[in-house]
Structure 1
Amino acid sequence: MQAWTDEFDVVVVGSGGGALTGAYAAASQGLRTVVLEKTDLFGGTSSYSGASIWLPGTQVQERAALPDSTENARTYLRSLLGDAEAARQDAYVDTAPAVVALLEQDPNIEFEFRAFPDYYKAEGRMDTGRSINPLDLDPAAIGDLADQVRPELDQDRTGQGHAPGPMIGGRALIGRLLAAVVGTGNAVLRTGVRVTGLVVEDGRVVGVEAESNGEKLRIGGSHGVLMAAGGIEGNAEVREQSGTPGKAAWSMGPFGANTGEAIAAGVAAGGATALLDQAWFCPGVEQPDGSAAFLVGIRGGIVVDATGERYLNESLPYDQFGRAMHARNTTGDAVPSWMIFDSREGGGLPGISIPNTAPAKHLEAGTWVQADTLEELAAKTGLPAEALRASVEQFNGFAKTGVDEQFHRGEDPYDAFFCPPNGGPNAALTAIENGPFYAARIVLSDLGTKGGLVTDVDARVLRADGTVVEGLYAASNTSASLSGAFYPGPGVPLGTAMVFSYRAAQHMAR
């Protein structure tokens, strides 16, 4: 046996919200913990997020006097997901209050409730939402750690570094968690360390093999190894093998970061996998460089496929939008689709695009087209002119009556959440009538894949026969999500990652 390069009680692979919660939970109990991040910045996809976190029934909701409870959240999950993952659903909602209580004990961490509706009309739903968010953070409050946090998506994708001002959203979450982890005095943070495999002795995972700056490392974890390092979203080859819809180039994960090494290492140690064809889907605005921008909060326009016809409620929550696009594409030609809009916003997209590339750059690259008439727009996009005009005219009629007779846009509280008043009967329905007209190419993107290692209620990795791979834990998008083909509400990816990383740490401590 080769000697250890370094030894710890707990090894955490990854540095997103889940990984850092697990690291803090372990280190705060006196366990010597190391966090290994493959890239040169901490935070992963979590740092790109708005940091809504679906952790129901906590002291944060109590402070906000929110009429919600653990039982209400359990009802919502069960009515939506059924009983297939009942034990993990229960572990999720039952543990959420303890996770928040532990984190808020640290002076670096504080949350607040911010309204954002749950995504499905099901029993137990909160129309105002039940998610919590970290407070914005002055970067000076965490010193040099602030420079080690991955910038927000818009800034990072365009190589601009951190935006001036306070750290918000995911950056605030990661910055606060890093400060808390360091503050325990029991943790070491390392970047530029790529885990290549697991060390198994007598059937138990006892550490990791890794590489850093050309040096091979063997890092011991006597209590266990937590793999919380993202999914396969950035690996084109593995996505194709797994049948994951979309493309690696269109994913919202940090470029080059989440390529599935952690999942592969777990499989090599005996772990089973599930849901590898699933992702947290979203529509993406195709970018001039072939990547995509996260599209959310659509407040105008319509989306059509290659036939020039609408096929969905464009204001759907983004995962449902992505799934509708994929379903349409299996029987037709919907990837890419075209978003059709007019000049009400000066030629800007009537939605939130992150990154928000200037319209002029899109028009120059051909990812958007502009025309004075719908017929000219159809010619430039290759869409059937009669069908496109019919779709627009039908939608404009719905805007006047306030009722989308095709797809019921504007009838759900989520639909109008991002829509300002438009002077009509339905804020989510605004007529397309002010030329020039525009068409933007929309592709199938994702916020990360959600398939991975199969785990139990304590995040222990399981073999295909249901037995435990001792010493190995998985959470975040490295594990198979308990939500299956659903995205129940804002912050479920972060919430489940944080809860099960916490439970992994608690199990290691026991």
Structure 2
Amino acid sequence: MTHEQEWDEEYDVIVVGSGGGALTGAYLAARAGLDTVVVERTGRLGGTSSYSGGAMWLPGSPVQRRDGVPDSTESARTYLRALLDDSAEAKLETFLAQAPALVERLEQDPALTFTFQAFPDYYERPGRVPGGRSFVPRALDPAELGDDLLALIRPPLDRDRAGQDHDTSAPLTAGRALIGRLLLAYHRTGHGAVTTDTVMDELAATPRRVTGILATRQGRRIRIGARRGVLLAAGGFEHNERLRGVHGVPGRSDCSMAPAGTNLGEPVEAAVALGAATDLMHEGWWCPGVRMPDGRPAFVCGFTGGLVVDANGSRYANESLPYDRFGREIQAEPDRTPSFVVYDSRTGGRLPAVTQPPWGDPSAHLDSGTLVKADTLEELAGILGVDAGRLTATVARFNSFADNGKDEEFAREADEFGHWFGDPVLRPVREAPYYAARIVLSDLGTKGGLVTDTSARVLREDGTPIAGLYAAGNTSASFTGPFYPGPGIPLGTAMLFASRATADMSA
């Protein structure tokens, strides 16, 4: 496809995907005066970013300085180097060098305002900042967006899954605020278009470069040309059970936190068809998921009470571990899915966790069987199909640790992350009735994908770039490998390398 008349539409830049990374790249391209289009496969923008807390791990920025956070590029370098191997060096240095400038550039736009929100980094390593270094978007009044832009943004997880629209009386917060602010800034450039319900599954190319995409919209095959380049930032392939099986990704597609209908991996497969290299295809951003009455899991984090046991009734990890680390503990043994968080009546049936889905009346969970209730631990074990003797012994041992304030098995009380959600971290489980909720291995997305360089250019197996093709976020292989260093690393790295892609296209 080399002639202009062969395109149904043509732009300078095509951005496939609409999460935080995609919209950052699209905004910066449009701000540079490049005619840009965001191509989204579903009817709403935001993807998994819209369900997230909206945290961005972009160290050494003006946001941290304004709030007096003892963060710096050098401390972040120390921290990341204590986790990652040498293969990440080039991207690590690019990320650290460019993060402050990216935030400064974004904050030049009045639509893009951020504030520090304390949340600890996920590993006790040199360079860790007490209280963390990530920040979040400020809440956004729906009136600032207007009806047309608001209608493009994905509603909150619980409302989205229930088929409900936005509550216009409430501000957009967290991930939805980030998507809303980026969309508003993008729209105001005058160079940005959005197309929804458009499934891209093929790249158009000459022997010299990628020139556009092929997609399906309303049953019609369309061809969209890109004069400067195509940025693939459409998430991973977590909802594609076939690809999960091919690459050995633990868990199941129906347990992913990605919105329904998203992240089936077509952009990755389209790039591979042109010779793109991939890496880390078995990896994900893991988390425990609590089963909801609709059968799907929802992200849970920060247990402030109770204990988690496997199918045998035994503890196997520190329940206050950061979510990715706890997810890796779940997948380590087959009898850990499902697991059960066991707790007592002091919460009135609500999960003893800080970050959890809207729980509402526990009766809906009891009726669906995702939550069970019993007057004794023995009865609870019978309902769960767990050995009663082992469960009661496990709880008794846990209670003795709680009484003494020291978890002699897993040191639950030892790390800052556990204490962040309130003290005491260890609370005995003694007050009937007893509850248990089902926990499964969930994910926030796959993290393996296309191999890219420090400008986010997609590389072939021989290390040469495919001209005109870029990738960021979960469509690309994360430079953090098997580690999730802190809150906002997925969004921060997606935004940074999307900005690198559009800077290269603008050059």
Match of 1:450? 447
1:320 aligns with 2:325: yes
CA distance in 2, matches of 1:452, 1:109: 29
Q: 1:146 aligns with which of 145, 150, 173?
A: 150
CA distance in 2, matches of 1:221, 1:101: 28
Question: CA contact under 8 A between 1:284 and 1:445: conserved in structure 2?
Answer: yes
Match of 2:209? 204
Q: Which runs of 5+ in 2 are unaligned?
A: none
Question: CA contact under 8 A between 1:335 and 1:444: conserved in structure 2?
Answer: yes
Deviation at 1:357, TM superposition (A): 5.8
Match of 2:340? 338
Matches within 5 A, 1:365-444: 365-419=368-422, 421=423, 427-444=424-441
3-state SS in 2 of match to 1:507: helix
Q: 1:499 aligns with which of 496, 501, 506?
A: 496
Alignment length (residue pairs): 501
Matches within 5 A, 1:63-212: 63-143=66-146, 144-163=148-167, 164-212=169-217
CA distance in 1, matches of 2:282, 2:180: 32
Question: CA contact under 8 A between 1:208 and 1:220: conserved in structure 2?
Answer: yes
Greater mean deviation of Cα atoms: 237-246 or 496-505 = 237-246
Match of 2:483? 486
Deviations 1:101-144 (A, max 9, x none): 11111111111111110000011111210001110000101112
Deviation at 1:160, TM superposition (A): 2.2
Match of 2:283? 278
3-state SS in 1 of match to 2:112: coil
Deviation at 1:12, TM superposition (A): 0.3
CA distance in 2, matches of 1:269, 1:202: 10
1:44 aligns with 2:47: yes
Question: CA contact under 8 A between 2:211 and 2:227: conserved in structure 1?
Answer: yes
Write the letter of the residue equivalent to 2:382: A
Q: 1:239 aligns with which of 241, 244, 264?
A: 244
TM-score, scaled relative to structure 1: 0.96
3-state SS in 1 of match to 2:347: coil
Deviation at 1:355, TM superposition (A): 4.7
3-state SS in 2 of match to 1:65: coil
Match of 1:230? 235
Deviation at 1:481, TM superposition (A): 0.6
Write the letter of the residue equivalent to 1:157: R
Greater mean deviation of Cα atoms: 310-319 or 285-294 = 285-294
1:301 aligns with 2:306: yes
Task: Give RMSD over aligned pairs.
Answer: 1.2
Greater mean deviation of Cα atoms: 493-502 or 366-375 = 366-375
CA distance in 1, matches of 2:245, 2:130: 37
CA distance in 2, matches of 1:477, 1:358: 35
CA distance in 2, matches of 1:354, 1:206: 42
CA distance in 2, matches of 1:444, 1:29: 42
Match of 1:424? none
CA distance in 2, matches of 1:159, 1:5: 33
Deviation at 1:171, TM superposition (A): 0.7
Match of 2:65? 62
Question: CA contact under 8 A between 1:70 and 1:94: conserved in structure 2?
Answer: yes
CA distance in 2, matches of 1:287, 1:236: 21
3-state SS in 1 of match to 2:231: strand
Residue 353 to residue 67, structure 1, CA distance change in 2 (3 Å): closer
Question: CA contact under 8 A between 2:307 and 2:319: conserved in structure 1?
Answer: yes
Q: Which runs of 5+ in 1 are unaligned?
A: 422-426
Deviation at 1:464, TM superposition (A): 1.2
CA distance in 1, matches of 2:409, 2:361: 32
CA distance in 2, matches of 1:55, 1:154: 29
CA distance in 1, matches of 2:191, 2:165: 30
1:288 aligns with 2:290: no
Deviation at 1:503, TM superposition (A): 0.3
Deviation at 1:224, TM superposition (A): 0.6
Question: CA contact under 8 A between 2:350 and 2:359: conserved in structure 1?
Answer: no
Deviations 1:11-40 (A, max 9, x none): 000010000100111111111111111111
Runs (4+) of structure 1 exceeding 3 A deviation are none
CA distance in 2, matches of 1:273, 1:27: 29
CA distance in 1, matches of 2:55, 2:189: 25
Question: CA contact under 8 A between 1:370 and 1:438: conserved in structure 2?
Answer: yes
Deviation at 1:484, TM superposition (A): 0.8
Deviation at 1:216, TM superposition (A): 1.3
Match of 1:463? 460
Deviation at 1:328, TM superposition (A): 2.8
